[in-house]
Amino acid sequence: MTLGILIIFDNPSATYIGGQEVTGHAAVDVVKEKKIYGIAVEFRGETQVHVGGEGRTRELYFLEKNLLQDTRQVLFRGSHFYPFSFVLPRSLPSSFEDASYGHVRYTVKVYVLGKWRKKLESTISRFTIVTPLDLNSIRVQEPLTLVKHGYTTRWLCWRSKTQILMGKLPCTRFVPGQEAEVMVGFKNPTAKCMPVICEFVKTRCAPSPRRCARCWSATCWAPRRRATPPGTRASACPTCRPPASSTASTSTSPTSSRSSPTRTWC
């Protein structure tokens, strides 16, 4: 290998917002003297979503190609630097990476062109987009108060004294690094000692993929019209499913009217 390419962003964190300018330079390291016919840069923003077993959907946000060097020249041994810049569109979603559900990805690709515009060497680097959310534009600054009533003992129409648990938040949205102050009040009129635990739970809205009970794979499922009911046991996927001849059949004993259960594969 006589050429080596390194993409260096002027922003060390390589993090930007929509409408900002991405600047940097491409460093081309030459080990041995090499004749080139141009150097190009490509800016790409795209999303890819995995839709179960039905395939993938793609959407392209932007794609721009520019020439950093358009003339034929001989690169001598050493390092050569070529600056680049690109103004991002204003409305862009934040970067996202998930192996199960897809990604929102933004990349910069630099490649050296040879004769007949053939790519001799190329490299690609990612940068991050963070979309700011204006919390003042939506009704999230109002405090939130939750009240829960409970009883320690119930018997027919008799109940113990009412216990009251109250939680209060100063607002309903927070940003990373912001301190979330939670006020918890508990009224216990009984003589029984009751601990109060405040727990922060991170939830995920995306459903978990359906997995095989044997190979634990979520990629070998065929599309189905009806999903598995919640709470049921996972079944084998079509790849691990035994043939129909190996399934157990119902047998009836002459001394008993009770038959053995039939094993079925979904």
Q: For the segment 104-163, what is each residue's pLDDT rounded down to a tens digit? A: 999 999 999 888 878 888 899 999 999 887 666 666 667 878 887 776 666 666 666 777
3-state secondary structure the chain: CCEEEEEEECCCCCEECCCCEEEEEEEEEECCCEEECEEEEEEEEEEEEECCCCCEEEEEEEEEEEEEECCCEEECCEEEEEEEEEECCCCCCCCEEECCCEEEEEEEEEEEECHHHCEEEEEEEEEEECCCCCHHHCCCCCCEEEEEEECCCEECCEECCCEEEEEEECCCCCCCCCCCCCEEEEECCCCCCCCCCCCCCCCCCCCCCCCCCCCCCCCCCCCCCCCCCCCCCCCCCCCCCCCHHHCCCCCECCCCCCECCCCCCC
**What's the chain's average pLDDT?**
75
- Say if CB 64 and CB 42 are below 8 A apart: yes
Domains annotated on the chain, with CATH = 3-129 (2.60.40.640), 136-187 (no CATH)
Q: For the segment 192-208, what is each residue's pLDDT rounded down to a tens digit? A: 777 777 777 766 554 44
The reported pLDDT for the residue numbered 217 is: 53
Most confident stretch, 67-81, 191-205, 232-246: 67-81
Of 90-99, 202-211, 219-228, the one with minimum mean pLDDT is 219-228
Higher pLDDT, 111 or 174: 111
Quote the pTM value: 0.55
- Say if CB 29 and CB 77 are below 8 A apart: no
The reported pLDDT for the residue numbered 128 is: 94
Phi-psi region of 74 (alpha: psi -120 to 50; beta: other; left: phi over 0): beta
The reported pLDDT for the residue numbered 125 is: 94
Instruction: Give dist(CA 51, CA 57) in Å, integer.
Output: 7
The reported pLDDT for the residue numbered 254 is: 43
Distances (CA, A) of 231 to 68, 228, 240: 58, 9, 22
Of 70-79, 107-116, 216-225, the one with minimum mean pLDDT is 216-225
Instruction: Give dist(CA 127, CA 133) in Å, integer.
Output: 20
- Say if CB 196 and CB 186 are below 8 A apart: yes
**What is the total residue count of the chain?**
266
The reported pLDDT for the residue numbered 261 is: 43
- Amino acid, res. 256: S
